[in-house]
Structure 1
Amino acid sequence: MKIAALSDIHGNLAALDAVLDDARGQAVDLIVNLGDMLSGALYPSQTADRLMALGLPTIKGNHERQLLAGDPDRMGLSDRFAHHQLRADQLAWLRDLPVTSRPVDGVLLVHGTPSSDLDYFLETVTASGCRAATRAEVESRAGDVEAALILCGHTHLQRSMKLDDGRLIVNPGSVGLPAYEDEHPFPHRMQAGSPHARYAIVTEHASGWEVEFKAVEYDWNAAANVAASNGRPEWERALRTGYC
């Protein structure tokens, strides 16, 4: 079994199409989508149409939950932008998505951790910033979940860890947004360091699952120009450089 894991598309249709083309060339058996698909500064409605037509195994992320929550005037800029552009059928599609999924035996899809769409799985934020999580921290977050492979997103950083019991946790990075800043629980930056669209391929062998991280070129300058025209300079810089 070979799975392409996609996450955090954030309405970046050009990046999504580039990743899909690359994944199809890898002879994957399945493509899965780990959420945070539409919110941002680019093409939420067009991205929703592409994903709805594909019918990939897909879960909600925190941004899907947030943009479905109610009053757009109380939403952040990215969720509000998406909410104003999405049609009723697209919002209905989002509402029907699960928050976790097991698309095949032994594989679990989550957005953040098995218990939260906001917690980081493979990173830890402290008052000093963000660092890679320790093995003990990751084991605590994984808990007693039974899955040989746990695919997570949310942090936009490509990272993996194999636990002592053999479970592999993989974050494929972000398809559509290579850097962002957040204030919770402390101010921190997540930066991939280049503007590539990222995803992961996980392959099952007799010895277990192995991961290969992918970084794909696309016209990120065109995407950055769209973000700038939509009044989001922080998105423009992230898309053009991979840094905040």
Structure 2
Amino acid sequence: MRLLVLSDIHANAPALEAVLADAGRRGYDRAVMLGDALGYGAHPAEVLARLRDSGAECIRGNHEQMGLDLVARRGVWLPGSAGVVGAALAWQFGQLGAGDLAWVASWPDGREDPALGVLFRHGTPLSLDTYTDSVTAARDAFAGWSGRLAFVGHTHIPGVYAALNAPVGEWIKFQGLSAGGTFPLAPGVRALCNPGSVGQPRDGDPRASYALFDAGRQTFEVIRVPYPVEAAQTAILEAGLPPVLAARLALGR
């Protein structure tokens, strides 16, 4: 069984289309989206429609949670919580119909798949909005969670934190996969696997990032795909969203 793993699309339809086309050529059986389909970009409805058409199983991210909280407060941000992120979410959730809002609200904050032995969550195995962005953060996650394998997003940086048994105790290492590559998941390894960001990479590479998990071979492969960045930038500017959201796409930051 091959699992397509997507995260942090951030309403970037050109990037999502490029990823789905590339993954379709490689072949996969199921798709899971680890949160933040929304936020930042100019194609919220288009991205949701494409995810629905693909049959992707969707997990809630912090941007979905913030947007749903905004809807519940009837468009009123809490003090200090607006800014660029808030401007994009307010515009995006204003573009969505009742069906889209109901679907996003139905996304769970994490899900376990006992058949695969995998936990899916946006931030860490323990939290929707905490970042797994350091060995210290990974150590805390491993200490508070007893599972073997988790797929997380949120950092926009592809890679694997792996916990290995050593004579001095549990040893944790990070293997970055920004250029793509495959991480073999040996039987004794516990791992937190991040596919990177489809729609807003932050590792200095503007190409879309996604992953394929081969359950039979126990491999996690990150793949980078070019997409028409200019199209996504133009759509952001034409929507009247903050220009910085367009500029950063070309930088991969």
Kindly report which structure 2 residues correspond to 1:152-191, keeping only aligned pairs within 5 A, or say none. Answer: 152-164=152-164, 165-178=188-201, 191=202
- 1:169 maps to a residue whose letter is L
Distance 1:193 1:11, change over 3 A: same
Partner of 1:214: 223
Of residues 99-108 and 137-146 in structure 1, the stretch that sits farther from structure 2 once superposed is 137-146
Partner of 2:182: none
Kindly report which structure 2 residues correspond to 1:1-244, keeping only aligned pairs within 5 A, or say none. Answer: 1-69=1-69, 70-71=72-73, 72-74=75-77, 75=82, 76-103=86-113, 104-121=115-132, 123=133, 133-134=134-135, 137-143=137-143, 145-164=145-164, 165-178=188-201, 191-205=202-216, 209-229=218-238, 230-243=240-253
- 1:225 maps to a residue whose letter is T
Alignment check: 8 A CA contact 1:153 1:171 kept: yes
Displacement of 1:145 in angstroms is 3.1
Alignment check: 8 A CA contact 2:116 2:215 kept: no
Alignment check: 8 A CA contact 2:88 2:241 kept: no
Alignment check: 8 A CA contact 1:36 1:61 kept: yes
Q: How far, CA to CA, are the matches of 2:29 and 2:52 in structure 1?
A: 19
Displacement of 1:39 in angstroms is 1.8
Q: How far, CA to CA, are the matches of 1:57 and 1:143 in structure 2?
A: 27
TM-score with structure 2 setting the length: 0.80
Q: How far, CA to CA, are the matches of 1:142 and 1:98 in structure 2?
A: 22
Q: How far, CA to CA, are the matches of 1:120 and 1:167 in structure 2?
A: 18
| Percent identical | 33
Distance 1:146 1:139, change over 3 A: same
- 1:238 maps to a residue whose letter is R
Aligned partner of residue 42 in structure 1, secondary structure: coil
Displacement of 1:212 in angstroms is 1.6
Aligned partner of residue 68 in structure 1, secondary structure: helix
Alignment check: 8 A CA contact 1:41 1:232 kept: no
Give deviations 1:120-155, integer Å, cap 9, x for gaps.
Answer: 11x1xxxxxxxxx12x54132133534432100011
- 2:108 maps to a residue whose letter is P
Give deviations 1:61-110, integer Å, cap 9, x for gaps.
Answer: 01111101123241511211211111111000011111111244301101
Alignment check: 8 A CA contact 2:45 2:96 kept: yes
Partner of 1:129: none
Alignment check: 8 A CA contact 1:19 1:175 kept: yes
- What is the number of residues matched between the two proteins? 218
Displacement of 1:52 in angstroms is 2.1
Alignment check: 8 A CA contact 1:200 1:213 kept: yes
- 2:128 maps to a residue whose letter is D
